[in-house]
Amino acid sequence: MTNQQIEVKHLSVNYYNHSAIRDISFSVQEGTIVGVIGPNGAGKSTLMKAMLGLEKSGGDVSYFGKNIQSMRKKIAYVPQRNTIDWDFPVRVEDVVLMGRFVHIPWYKRASRYDRDCAREALDKVGMGTYANRQIGELSGGQQQRVFLARALAQDADLFFLDEPFVGIDVQSEEIIVNILHELRNDGKTMFIIHHDLSKVEKYFDQLVLLNQVLIQAGAVRDVYKPKFLKEAYQENAAIIKEGNEMVVVGP
């Protein structure tokens, strides 16, 4: 692992004089899977969008010493499934091919190489046989795998996934997790918004725990502790222990 870092410094976002996130600072090493956790309304998606330059924000984010504009082609973003229009008529292969658009000049069409990249990515997530299906015909887990394939086709170094495991089947979740771990082993860096605390230790290397402000960030073993979880979730949930795992139960 290198010493290159992603650094977030004093990041804040306000909506109509309301603070969504406030003065958040942390750093993450390259080649790490980072779980972004916190209660509903904590600002997890806002933080991710601000890091990507999709929200107007104060503060600064640097990626290995570069700003977001310099890194656009190397950053893949998979939004929440409920923000996507699944009724739009588009084939699965064409969705994945969209991941190649950052590498294709506007005046050119996708090349054979671009299409090969898309097919290879589909095969990697186990969706190669669905290439000609309409995206709306797929199950939730299959749709999520297709959007991960789009990110893979982009050949990104940084992956941002907003709640990728919500509403998907066990097989799809296992496939996605295995691919994320393979990407980590290849030196890629991932930020994943996640809500199921029972799987935190299994899935992630580092955590960013927030509730509008940063509660704690760092290695899972240092952040995944009852005192920090209670501070983040407050009266909205109860912290219970099941075996060696802590689980938040509540809204």
Q: Residue 134 has what DSSP assignment?
A: B
225: left (phi over 0), alpha (psi -120 to 50) or beta: beta
Residue 246 has a pLDDT of 62
Q: 5-86+155-249: what fold?
A: Rossmann fold (3.40.50)
pLDDT tens-place values along the chain, 251 residues long: 345 789 999 999 998 888 999 999 999 999 999 999 999 899 999 999 999 999 999 999 999 989 998 998 999 999 887 777 767 778 999 999 999 988 887 778 888 999 999 999 999 999 999 999 999 899 989 999 999 999 999 999 999 999 999 888 999 999 999 999 999 999 999 999 998 888 898 999 999 999 999 999 999 999 998 889 989 988 666 565 556 666 665 55
The angle, 0 to 180 degrees and rounded to 10, between the axes of the packed helices 140-153 and 112-124 is 140
| Packing angle of the helix pair 140-153, 170-185 (nearest 10 deg) | 20
Task: Report the b/e string of 90-123 with b at 16+ CB within 10 A.
Answer: eebbbbbbebbeeeeeeeeebeeebbebbbebbe
* Separation CA 211–CA 158 (nearest Å): 24
Amino acid 196: pLDDT: 85
Beta-ladder partners of 21: 13
Q: What pTM did the predictor assign?
A: 0.89
Neighbours of 222 (CB within 10 A): 12
